[in-house]
Amino acid sequence: MDAVVKKIARESAVKRPSQEEAEEAVRTLIAWAGDDPTRQGLIDTPKRVVKAYKEFFKGYSEDPLQALSRTFDEDEGYDDIVMLRDIEFNSHCEHHIVPFIGRAHVAYLPSDSVVGISKLARVVEIYARRLQTQETMTAQIVKAIDQALKPRGTALLIEAVHQCMSLRGVNKRNVSTITTQFTGEFKSTPALQARFMELVRAPSGGFSL
């Protein structure tokens, strides 16, 4: 078992079930839904579902601080906004285990060093691949960046569609849920927040490389 999974298991005092126990749980749900888990078309489904869960929730075995640990300090004194826009993610809401799908826009103001830009997208991916609420995921991403890079400020906007609202329950399609979090200079300086929001909304300039 991976160290991060072990840590989460230790903190929550939950024993991680075996692959066979997880597959059995899927067979139970299929039967509960009203179908026969032993029929031809469903016989391999528990194995596939467990494999899919491994992908959906692989963020439990990854460490965001580790992803942000390699920084570069030769940046000629660059000290303005570094922003990644339109980081697509798929997550699952912790209330219904149904997908919520959206985009994250993340920016930071470097102090001494910068981080490889892919690592910011990796942090989004790590937290998205866990059971989440949008608010928690927003706060966690910002906290990880602040902790690892100690920037002068971090800004994050997440927009997402929650399928637990569009496929069931209230059945409202295409509702966007928007969350934002600002720290440091982004929190204390409204003009910086406004610049961030402008950059989120700015046309892409037709780049699609």
Ligand X SMILES: Nc1nc2c(ncn2[C@@H]2O[C@H](COP(=O)(O)OP(=O)(O)OP(=O)(O)O)[C@@H](O)[C@H]2O)c(=O)[nH]1
Q: Which is nearer to ligand X, 134 or 181 (CB)?
A: 134
Structure tokens of 40? 């031809």
Q: Of these, 17, 116, 169, 190, which contacts ligand X (CB under 6 A)?
A: 169
Our CA angle for 188, 192, 198, nearest 5°, is 140
The residue sitting closest to ligand X, measured at its beta carbon, is 169
Question: 24 or 94, CB closer to ligand X?
Answer: 94
CA 207 to chain centre: 25
Out of 4, 121, 164, 199, the only residue in the binding site for ligand X (CB under 6 A) is 164
105 among known catalytic residues: no
For this structure, is 93 an active site residue? yes
Task: Specify the residue, 6 or 95, whose C-beta has the smaller distance to ligand X.
Answer: 95
- Residues near ligand X (CB under 6 A), total: 10
> Which of ligand X, Zn ion, none sits in contact with 134, Cβ below 5 to 8 A by type?
ligand X
Helix (H, G, I), strand (E, B) or coil at 30: helix
Q: Where are the beta strands (DSSP E) in 49-148?
A: 71-72, 82-93, 99-109, 114-115, 131-132
| Among 62, 92, 93, 105, the one annotated catalytic | 93
Q: Which residue in the set 30, 93, 120, 145 belongs to the binding site for ligand X (CB under 6 A)? A: 93
- Report how far residue 98's alpha carbon sits from residue 164's, in angstroms, rounded to the nearest whole number: 6
Q: Which stretch binds ligand X (CB under 6 A): 11-19, 32-40, 67-75, 163-171?
A: 163-171
Q: How far is CA 59 from the centre of its chain?
A: 8
Q: Establish whether 134 is a catalytic residue.
A: yes
Give the chain's length. Answer: 209
Q: Which of residues 118-137 bind ligand X (CB under 6 A)?
A: 133-135
Torsion of CA 11, 118, 196, 143, to 10 degrees: 20
157: left (phi over 0), alpha (psi -120 to 50) or beta: beta
Q: Which of residues 95-114 bind ligand X (CB under 6 A)?
A: 95
- Give catalytic residues, as residue numbers: 93-96, 134, 162, 164
Contact residues for ligand X, defined by CB under 6 A = 93, 95, 133-135, 162, 164-165, 169-170
